[in-house]
Structure 1
């Protein structure tokens, strides 16, 4: 971008400072030069492009902290470039990629590849998490020191839980030495198993393998105890149950260094969205009961849930147009993250500033 642009008559929103007021914004080249009321009246240089916002909202770009990229390994489903276009269309200017690519982000060379591709695309800022274990196998730790030196933002096995408690303790301990976050998928695998939907009436009626909601809180409670031992920073991904929200609320009250996020399906939908085997609603964690959905909304409202992430998981048609049990888990989310989150504002659950603060 070159030249100067003045956006006037906007509703300025800044979640960091709490600003919510009418005003103007001056852009010089690719940088914000000034922001506040009265910029237009103060005058501007000749050649400045004037854009009248007519009271529309103007806010900083969004940060999506959980995105599944398909490059490297499955570019036919989505490339980094197409993901960047989708993110920009959704108002996202920074996204953080999970390590579950092919090969996974468990080696410095893969981190360097992603960084190079992000520079080539130059649509949005792309950061990455590194795998906590080699091959995302949950057993052998990656070279966390070397990976930390590349600038990764944390360690996770992505959509897989680290099931072994001793391995998880070691991951937390090493991550603490680099002051990096550990992100956990909260599902006890021996209870989750081959479950595809939440245990209950819907699972019984459809005859689908079910997973108990308790699988989430059991993993959360275990990892909270490991945080007490190690003092490491833990982030729980896509919290989806009332018991999970309650466990994190208590941990925060006790002063543990724990944060969490949820994704739009868990506050916008419940398990009835599965309907007659709709595979677009096959997610991991699965869609929950209406009472769980309401608990997630309450967790967002009281600050227990710190962030909303898209959990963007693109698939081709061959991966979704299948019988329910054969279809892949996940849905796209980069372009729907903002509009679905704004539904919380329109429903009176969050103020506009609070909704944006979660993003």
Structure 2
């Protein structure tokens, strides 16, 4: 039994009490029972769902592991995390899916729902055992980390996944157009003398994948969409009834290719940071509903790796612990609290065809408390993640999670 007192629902100034029993919400404003936690006036929302994170286990635990990654997620207000399968070995067999879920459950942190590879070894050629992977608990199928170059394989995958009621998620870049690009192709890359990755690489692949999705009737989800042109293609496809969804990451809203003038590989991501015009278009896509949900693409690497030059360093930023504060501080006024929370909860669930998160009596007790007013500096040395560095070190943010409850148990509680 758990009781959380002195909390507020979004849009309300009335203090309330929530009681949890056996992993479910027992009721509102009942007499306090069991462990009692003072919410200190924070705002209660459903725990966030992370649609796209790299937890690096198995095989890359020097970057992150389940314990550190799921602790970081809980500290960021996330109750459920979908992990990507581009590990070592690749998550392409049912036993690995089950082992990851079982290990995560024993940790008592955020809940893990692994994504499984669409193809064996993520080689893009032979489909993995999708039915068995779904039975084992795979949340979706994706070869993220690699692009699906073989159009016929993607077609077969979409057909098969659709028969299982599953979504196929893709990293949409044409590999031959991307080539060795390490940043957005444009005036900044030309000025710096660095190989560029053109916006057309993303748009061309999305245009192809839209046609394959329409052909199959399957469910296609575009990961980390980064360009205005790609957004136009998704908007047009939706208008003609193609079953396509997409996500946008905060770093593509907050940072641009101008950051690469520092030559700091902390800003190297895939797809790359684009222009301010692209960022503005993505924000508009969030506002008008073309963009379905937010995801972080949490991608931790070691500090030594990210200190390599831009040609050699791996792509990725790790910031799942500060994703909501970043969005609330920078875009809270434009999006509003309810819209922002929806993009991290019910909208993610809709993409995956999962039940919508709820704070109603009888619903699973997955929720987080948000301090929407107190401003705190970003201190990466305190991160739960092994990647204790960030482009936003020292930035003053508000909207910090103070408590995350998953399945009725406390997964994170802010210490100060």
Tell me the SS of whatever aligns to 1:12.
coil
Asked if residue 93 in structure 1 is aligned to residue 79 in structure 2, the reply is yes
Match of 1:44 in 2: 31
Q: Is the 8 A contact 1:169 1:226 kept in 2?
A: yes
Distance 2:303 2:259 in 1: 19
Tell me the SS of whatever aligns to 2:105.
helix
Q: Which region of structure 1 is more displaced relative to structure 2, 44-53 or 185-194?
A: 44-53
Cα displacement (A) at 1:206: 1.2
TM-score of the aligned structures, taking structure 1 as reference length: 0.91
Deviations 1:53-80 (A, max 9, x none): 33x3211111101011111101122110
1:28 aligned to 13, 20, 27, which one? 20
Asked if residue 178 in structure 1 is aligned to residue 164 in structure 2, the reply is yes
Asked if residue 192 in structure 1 is aligned to residue 185 in structure 2, the reply is no
Distance 2:148 2:225 in 1: 16
Distance 1:193 1:74 in 2: 25
Cα gap change, 1:166/1:49 in structure 2, threshold over 3 Å: closer, same or farther?
closer
Q: Is the 8 A contact 2:80 2:112 kept in 1?
A: yes
Asked if residue 286 in structure 1 is aligned to residue 272 in structure 2, the reply is yes
Asked if residue 11 in structure 1 is aligned to residue 8 in structure 2, the reply is yes
Distance 1:237 1:4 in 2: 37
Q: Which region of structure 1 is more displaced relative to structure 2, 96-105 or 43-52?
A: 43-52
Equivalence map 1:55-204=2 (5 Å): 56-204=42-190
Tell me the SS of whatever aligns to 1:248.
helix
Looking at both structures, which has the greater relative contact order when contacts are Cα pairs under 8 Å and sequence separation is at least 6? Answer: 2
Match of 1:16 in 2: none
Cα gap change, 1:215/1:47 in structure 2, threshold over 3 Å: closer, same or farther?
closer
Deviations 1:285-340 (A, max 9, x none): 00001100100000011111111111001111121111111111001021121112
Match of 1:253 in 2: 239
Q: Is the 8 A contact 1:238 1:261 kept in 2?
A: yes
TM-score of the aligned structures, taking structure 2 as reference length: 0.79
Cα gap change, 1:195/1:34 in structure 2, threshold over 3 Å: closer, same or farther?
same
Cα gap change, 1:52/1:182 in structure 2, threshold over 3 Å: closer, same or farther?
closer
Cα gap change, 1:24/1:45 in structure 2, threshold over 3 Å: closer, same or farther?
closer
Cα displacement (A) at 1:225: 0.5
Match of 1:351 in 2: 336
Q: Is the 8 A contact 2:264 2:309 kept in 1?
A: no
RMSD of aligned alpha carbons? 1.7
Q: Is the 8 A contact 2:264 2:307 kept in 1?
A: no
Tell me the SS of whatever aligns to 2:334.
coil
Tell me the SS of whatever aligns to 1:240.
coil
What is the aligned length?
343
Cα gap change, 1:173/1:53 in structure 2, threshold over 3 Å: closer, same or farther?
same
Deviations 1:127-184 (A, max 9, x none): 0111011111111111112212212121100121101111111111111111100001
Q: Which region of structure 1 is more displaced relative to structure 2, 20-29 or 109-118?
A: 20-29
Q: Which runs of 5+ in 1 are unaligned?
A: 14-18
Match of 1:327 in 2: 313
Q: Which runs of 5+ in 2 are unaligned?
A: 345-416
**4+ residue runs over 4 A deviation:** 45-48
